[in-house]
Structure 1
Amino acid sequence: MPKNIYFIALCLLCIWGCRESASKAGANKKDSINKVVQDAAHEIAGNFSDQRSLRFSANRLDSFFTRYDSLRTFQKDLTTFYTERNYAFAWYSDSGLTEQASHLYVRLENLPEEGLNLVLPYKHTLDSLINAANTQTLEQKSETELLLTSLYFFFAQRVWAGLEESATQKIDWLMPRKKLSYSALLDSVLKQGNTANVKEPVYRQYNLLKEYLKKYKAIPASSTTISLPGNKPIRPGDTSPEIVKLRKKLFLLGDLTNAGDTSSDTYDSTLLTAVKRFQRRHGLSEDGIAGAGLIRELNIPVPQLIEKIMVNMERNRWLPTDVRGRYLAVNIPEFVLHAYYDDSLLWNMNVVVGKDVNKTVIFAGSISQVVFSPYWNVPASILKKEILPGIQKNPNYLEKNHMEWNGPDVRQKPGPWNSLGQVKFLFPNSHSIYLHDTPSKSLFQESKRAFSHGCIRVANPKFLAQYILRDDAAWTTDRINKAMASGKEQYVAVKDPIPVYITYFTAWVDRQGDLNFREDIYKRDAQLSSLLMKR
């Protein structure tokens, strides 16, 4: 007996068994039982009766893709999906198109809201078929059915999956990509009965950016341009006509929240709060002074900001949707290391990343070892470009820099002078990238921190060591302090390696709900935007 028949039988037994007790329990109990039965009946009808009563023949697929050749890439997906359904319609019941079909049609009609400049294939044909849905022949219904399913796969691929992995690898995104089963997702849509209620397989940032995309598209493209009066910074207490423009622009961008505050030409406390909010959102020093850097950010054309949002929505399509447990994430343009547990942010730490000529690689790994008082094994590129020329100029170069030959290579001895500081954190990878301490502490005070040869320097290495080794009772704070200052290299295995993701996002929504932007320090936004436009 098919499992749906068992389910129907079970429902009937439940109804019969409850009949006597229901009569005693009163109207509320009856209503409760009736609701359960109605819900069960609706599910059975939606998944077995109505959607299995309308079918098409298997050879209809071939003729469909002959006509809709641009969608042929999804032929295998459709064949698999409909073979499992025995070629039953998915978007129709006996009374016509389902609610799910209407929701899908609306999502297809609003592709620009998904941050994609796409032309929907066969849009006019779909419009005509949907508008004539109430008077369709069976042949027209089968054409609408197959077109909706094909365009569902089109939507899922473009909106939920994004660019192909081969394309993202060409722009040096080496993070693992999520894997999607479009057929499984479609089953989920049909069972839940409403695409708006389906938990979409995209990282949480995607929908947060999507909301801001709507807001920024509503901002006039030719919005206020601001200049510095006399090329001098605008400070609290100043008075100038440019301050009115400053207020209007900050209001348009959401930093100044009251429209009534846009007419004053005096820099007061209300404007100070708005300026500092803008500075925080852009990674600038929150000093409240409207100098050249802030004005430059304010004058970035709105269409460029919209493009940046769209590019970062695309990056979010590639991420795993649900990372569990402890993990670390470095956002290169933000110059910050974040620690998470599930989706809860635990703490942040400033970092220094690679210069443009020594780009930090975008990839993932797991921290498996902590090395106290490390040697710095000088990379071959640095040995060739810096160390050997230094030795030629000064025979005492190695001794002066606390270095020594190690076979054919050069290494720097442990100590406060060491370029890796007093501790490093290893996650095995082919890029020779790791986290480490540094003696150059002042660099962490800079708002833009791209100074390294590619590895990632952390502002508080002692705290990071304590966090990573916190499950190892042998490694107390006192022992960590001694190991860092010992001058003797010591490797410590991490009992439970911690995943670390090295990412690249130039726009995101923070925990306060504010949209953040950062400079595209490696010029990767333009590369990705070009790929999206080609697609």
Structure 2
Amino acid sequence: MSAVFLPQNRLRAVLPTIFAVFIFLFSAPQAQAQVTEFRQAVAEAASNDPDLISFYRERGFDGIWSTRNDRNRRNALLAAFNGAADHGLPSARYDAAGLIAQLEAASSPQQQGRLEVELSRQFLDYARDIQTGLLTPSRVDSAIFREVPMRSRLSTLRAFAQSNPAAFLRALPPSAPEYTRLMSEKMRMERLLADGGWGPTVPGQKYERGDSGAGVVALRNRLIAMGYLERSTTQVYDDAIFGAITRFQDAHGLAIDGTAGPGTLAEINTQPEERLQSIIVAMERERWINRPRGERYIWVNITDFTAKIFDNGVETFSTRSVVGARDRDRVTPEFSDVMEFMVINPSWYVPRSIITKEYLPQLRANPNAVRNLVITDRNGRVVDRNSADFSGYTAANFPYSMREPPSQGNALGLVKFMFPNRHNIYLHDTPSKSLFGREVRAYSHGCVRLADPFDFAYALLAKQVGNPEEVFQAHLRAGRERRVDLEAPVPVHLVYRTAFVPADGRVQFRRDVYGRDGRIWNALAREGVALRAVRG
């Protein structure tokens, strides 16, 4: 009898399966005699997945889904799949009905063994999606540097096999209260869609106190439907409508003046479908940051133009902020880090990009331009502007650095807050106070400017000194650059939420200032996420 040889490419394809079965046959205590067709099928089906083959090898290729005793585990998984859409996940991705049909049709040990592994694979996919999200953030937007806290697939499967299945599956989504509130708001919005939404949009460009007519009636009806105004038959823009508009403006990050101008009307006329998209995107973003945020942490919401301090989940400080401009090279990135210290009376070491793009052209035209900046060579020596010739330099070969010494007019103001990171992003004071009065505050080169930096410093120092204001002001009066370390470093989260629900339960919406949430929604839609209307 002649030997049979497989082509090399075919041999490479089947080697993992052959190896897995070989390991099983010769590592089991009683060898081939106790090998069942079911176990062989499990070994073959799991052989191309290192985590699955490790898990089943540890169990002697016994199943966790396939016996009568595993019924509760199967039912718990199917129930979780049926509820996936409640979490803003694509329901078609977790086909409970299809799995039920396969379970009913699997009559042979081989079929049951293959289905056993398929159930584990789908469980792991679902666990990953609901714990840490469907998407890879940086693939959607290169300015999102979010390190998603991926869990070990093997550890997840081991833990699940030893746990109450229903309780384990319920514990997979983020436990942060914000996620729970977003999910409740999502389901409320879905019921709203089933009931017809908020009704007709409001025509016109501007309405204010004392106005009347059909446009005011449409505005009144829209505000009632949205929950900002109690039922009314008024046809006049009265005090009640004025109050409803101020509440709406506050909930949407708008300038609060009680007048329904073009900006306010644009937000009022935004359809519930778009708001629902924002909520689903926010839930995905919560999954990306599904880890403890810290007992005390700093929360910078780029779209809200605020920086807040939270202690044990409670907001204890808030200030307005200015964030990066919309230009691609000036946007504020998203990431988390740890604040370690503040610098009082800081120098501003001008980033290379700003030197070459903004200041070098001025120096070429006039060597005495930007006199507030000190120009230094590689050895730190001050360059004499009168003898220097800047005209021949380009962005590629400019050899100098630039620094602005501490002063009232310093670009960083009088204090900066440092969480050293590769993006060179930090929080700081600014002499440009007028920008904090604007509704949209996207003007910086990427760093975050604070409206109340001294109070922010006092709040941080209060944990380590008895009189934080006195300590801070003493350093400030000295006029010298001074580093003050935080004895307990504080996590900093730079986030981007166009929909969020504070503890009071009133949902808040913000404009998609950089267009990031639009890109995320499009990516989720490509994964199969869809809006739905649900009858209550």
TM-score, normalising length: structure 2: 0.77
Moved more, 86-95 or 403-412: 86-95
Which residue number corresponds to residue 390 of structure 1?
A: 362
1:297-312 equivalence runs, <5 A: 297-312=267-282
More helix by share: 1
Unaligned segments of structure 2, at least 5 residues: 1-35, 378-399, 528-536
SS at match of 1:346: strand
CA spacing shift, 1:120–1:164, aligned 2, 3 Å = closer
Moved more, 178-187 or 437-446: 178-187
Moved more, 481-490 or 357-366: 481-490
1:155 lines up with 2:126 in the alignment: yes
CA spacing shift, 1:277–1:436, aligned 2, 3 Å = same
SS at match of 1:97: helix
**Aligned AA for 1:319?**
I
Q: CA deviation at 1:508?
A: 1.3
Which residue number corresponds to residue 341 of structure 1?
A: 311
SS at match of 1:300: coil
Which residue number corresponds to residue 143 of structure 2?
A: 172
**Aligned AA for 2:172?**
E
Which residue number corresponds to residue 219 of structure 2?
A: 246
Which residue number corresponds to residue 97 of structure 1?
A: 71
Which residue number corresponds to residue 51 of structure 1?
A: none
2:209 to 228, 236, 240: 236
1:380 lines up with 2:355 in the alignment: no
Which residue number corresponds to residue 418 of structure 2?
A: 426
CA spacing shift, 1:465–1:222, aligned 2, 3 Å = closer
CA spacing shift, 1:155–1:517, aligned 2, 3 Å = same
Q: Which has the higher contact order (CA 8 A, sep 6+)?
A: 2
Distance in 2 of aligned mates of 1:300 and 1:189 = 46
Question: 8 Å contact 1:239–1:267 — kept in the other structure?
Answer: yes
Question: 8 Å contact 2:202–2:222 — kept in the other structure?
Answer: no
CA spacing shift, 1:161–1:471, aligned 2, 3 Å = closer
Q: CA deviation at 1:243?
A: 2.8
1:192 lines up with 2:158 in the alignment: no
SS at match of 2:286: helix
Distance in 2 of aligned mates of 1:110 and 1:524 = 27
**Aligned AA for 1:495?**
E
- Equivalent pairs counted in the alignment come to 464
SS at match of 1:219: helix
Distance in 2 of aligned mates of 1:481 and 1:198 = 50
Q: CA deviation at 1:488?
A: 2.1
Distance in 2 of aligned mates of 1:146 and 1:217 = 35
Question: What is the root-mean-square deviation of aligned Cα atoms in Å?
Answer: 3.1
1:267-278 equivalence runs, <5 A: 267-278=237-248
**Aligned AA for 2:245?**
V
Q: CA deviation at 1:392?
A: 4.7
Which residue number corresponds to residue 511 of structure 2?
A: 519
Q: Deviations over 1:325-353 (max 9, x none)?
A: 22212111111112122323222221111
TM-score, normalising length: structure 1: 0.77
SS at match of 2:216: helix
1:69-84 equivalence runs, <5 A: 75-84=49-58
Distance in 2 of aligned mates of 1:167 and 1:393 = 40
1:107 to 52, 56, 80: 80
Distance in 2 of aligned mates of 1:157 and 1:96 = 22
Which residue number corresponds to residue 456 of structure 1?
A: 448
Question: 8 Å contact 2:46–2:53 — kept in the other structure?
Answer: no
Question: 8 Å contact 1:203–1:317 — kept in the other structure?
Answer: no
Q: CA deviation at 1:394?
A: 5.1
Identical residues among aligned pairs (%): 28
1:211 lines up with 2:184 in the alignment: yes
Distance in 2 of aligned mates of 1:216 and 1:142 = 42
SS at match of 2:119: helix
**Aligned AA for 1:442?**
S
Q: CA deviation at 1:457?
A: 0.6
SS at match of 1:113: helix
**Aligned AA for 2:174?**
V
Q: Deviations over 1:472-497 (max 9, x none)?
A: 44974223113224432222233222
Q: Deviations over 1:64-83 (max 9, x none)?
A: 579xxxxx7xx444334434
**Aligned AA for 1:496?**
A
Q: CA deviation at 1:456?
A: 0.8
1:116-127 equivalence runs, <5 A: 116-117=89-90, 119-120=92-93, 124-127=97-100
Distance in 1 of aligned mates of 2:91 and 2:145 = 26
Distance in 1 of aligned mates of 2:405 and 2:367 = 18
